Structure 1
Amino acid sequence: MGGYVVRVRHDDLPGGPAEFELLVRSAAHRWRTVDPLLPTPSHPRPSAYPLLTVSDEVGRPVATGTMRYSWYQPGEVGRTWGVPDQHWLTPIVGGPDPGRALDSLLTSWRDQLAELPSGTGSESAAQLTWPARDVIGVLPLQRHGLLPHSVLAVRQQRRGVPPSLPPRDVTIRLADPEDLPQVVALLMEEHRYEEHFGGVFVQPETADQTRRVVARSLARSPSWIWLAERRGRTVGLIWVSPPERARWAAPLTSAAPAAHIGYGVVTADERGHGIGTALISSAHQALDAHGVAATLLNYAVMNPLSGPFWHRMGYRPLWTTWEIRPALALR
């Protein structure tokens, strides 16, 4: 590793608090330079999760990576949203040669995964999230076999297409509790389509789990779920979590307040007629009126419909999740 030293720590920070603060500042400066909508890097907690550290030849930390592991049992909600066995690395990379530091960090992570006694079978993945515009990480990630899997995209206030009226015979309205069956049916159609891209795995429990989540959202007023109807038939929806329901999204961007779009769905036979544009127009008008500075959403890299649509609507990549399956395939 060209003189770099890698350690695994559980109870302290590399080089002491002062040296570690310099590393975080270095990473924060690069993030601000490549993308002002990125947040300030969070300080990891080595007492909570194992922490890989990469130091240069004189002992100064140039990268850290928090290692986290998740296992989802049959029947758990998380089983729908990825492989059961998930190994995550949260990197903070700085110093004068961040590409080299990231490469060393990934090599050490590979070695740590290889030493695990179990939990890295065929239904496993090694995953990390990297700033989309920080292109210095692309080649090291590729060299270790990781591939871009999904994108977290962002839209700033009042960006995107002008307000759009729905097509003739289509009405847009907020959903209420009476719409529960129609909303669940649309979401299950979306889940089954997303299965093609390896990010969703419909389980026997998925429909019931979806119904419970939708029922809670529809019980709120307003629901922040807009429906598109053509002659009384539900043909699409947009589901928004405003800032007070999307607090988990706040640390993902420097812009505040931040909202999140969980679903944008149009039935297969109605795509291409402007219904999706009309739905997102209704949502954007509400978000802009509420002073939401940034709206976030996720889409699969390989989905041929999502990326082009959301880019037209004013969204662009902020974070990219890279992964490799199974986890031990990491090079």
Structure 2
Amino acid sequence: MTSARGLVAAQSARFAALDPLLPPATEPPMDGHVITAALADGERVAGVISHQRFDRLSTTRLWSAAEVWELLPLVGDTQGMDALLKRWRRHLDTQEIGEDTACVVHWPSRDTKAARAFLDHGLVPLSVLGIRLRTPHPHVPRTLTIRRATPHDLEVVLELSLVELEYSSFVGSTIVRPEAPALKRRALTDRLNNASPIWLAERDGIAVALAECAIVSSEPGTSAAARLPRGRWGYVNCVSVLPGARGSGIGQQLVAYAHQELHRMGAVGTYLYYNPPNPLSSVFWPRQGYRPLWTVWEVRPASALR
């Protein structure tokens, strides 16, 4: 519809002004619930609410509530986020909402005016999509053996992955569920069997750190195109260092190596998600050259949206 296209065009222009690395805004899918709000100057803003329930055996439940209401805002170039969030709150009043639920919005990190509205409505910045363009990495002296993980390394890869999952559950959106070991084992088995880019750092023959990565293509029609500039990107999904080995530079060495290898595979840059409340990753990742592109605002349970 014309009004939606106008909001998309205005929002794309706003995104470009906020951050040149943001992809253009796209029309939200129309299979969700459409809401609109009127502003004092007569302008209108809109949004689509996507409602999802995740099966008990879905790996998504390891970093997400079991039931999620996600808002995809279309506010154009207005400051209408507050009005849209109020309308979202009224919509939730018509829903039956349990405890294992969340409200989520992905929004450009540099839009500080929208951030004020999110905070006022009880949403918190639990995750950030950080991005790093392909640039020369500062030389990091190597004191470790770093090698590609194989299917024979499943048990140690699983152990390191679960260590990171548990730590992240205290400082972000991750949830340690009873099914976590089995879900992680299944996912990691598939990735190792498919020779995905996963590396282990070893000290004296003992694995002390893991970098689980992937190659993602951001092209028209792909889910990545809504978040990343066009091109082939390295995704740093999980970096885990055993608790007793943290603070000794192991993570820095492993990440520098992973960046080098992902760039060798043709990545124009790398991206990842980290948790701003995490006292380690919120410092570590900016030092490795990452900066926020998108912030994931969230409130749990969904009924706590103000």
TM over 0.5: yes
Q: What residue is the counterpart of 1:35 in the other structure? A: 19
Per-residue deviation, 1:56:
5.1
* Equivalent pair of 1:148/1:322 in contact (CA under 8 Å): yes
* Equivalent pair of 2:202/2:209 in contact (CA under 8 Å): yes
Q: What residue is the counterpart of 2:3 in the other structure? A: 19
Q: What residue is the counterpart of 2:76 in the other structure? A: 94
2:154 matches 1:180: yes
* Equivalent pair of 1:157/1:291 in contact (CA under 8 Å): no
Q: What residue is the counterpart of 1:7 in the other structure? A: none
Question: Which structure is larger by alpha-carbon Rg, 1 or 2?
Answer: 1
Per-residue deviation, 1:53:
2.3
CA distance in 2, matches of 1:43, 1:73: 27
* Equivalent pair of 2:102/2:298 in contact (CA under 8 Å): yes
Per-residue deviation, 1:55:
4.5
* Equivalent pair of 1:164/1:281 in contact (CA under 8 Å): yes
Q: What residue is the counterpart of 2:104 in the other structure? A: 127
> 212, 228, 234: which is aligned to 1:253?
228
* Equivalent pair of 2:158/2:188 in contact (CA under 8 Å): yes
2:35 matches 1:52: yes
> 239, 244, 269: which is aligned to 2:212?
239
Per-residue deviation, 1:140:
1.2
- SS of 1:88's equivalent in the other structure is strand
CA distance in 1, matches of 2:53, 2:4: 30
Q: What residue is the counterpart of 1:84 in the other structure? A: 66
Please give the TM-score of this superposition, normalised by the length of structure 2. Answer: 0.92
- SS of 1:260's equivalent in the other structure is strand
> 69, 86, 89: which is aligned to 1:107?
86
- SS of 1:243's equivalent in the other structure is strand
* Equivalent pair of 2:198/2:213 in contact (CA under 8 Å): yes
- RMSD (Å), alpha carbons: 2.0
Structure 1's unaligned 5+ residue stretches are 1-16
> 284, 294, 314: which is aligned to 2:269?
294
Q: Which amino acid in structure 1 is aligned with residue 227 of structure 2?
A: L
* Equivalent pair of 1:75/1:205 in contact (CA under 8 Å): yes
How does 1:164-313 map onto structure 2 within 5 Å?
164-167=140-143, 170-221=144-195, 223-243=196-216, 248-313=223-288
2:47 matches 1:65: yes
CA distance in 1, matches of 2:191, 2:180: 17
Q: What residue is the counterpart of 1:156 in the other structure? A: 133
Deviations 1:162-191 (A, max 9, x none): 142322xx2011111111111001001111
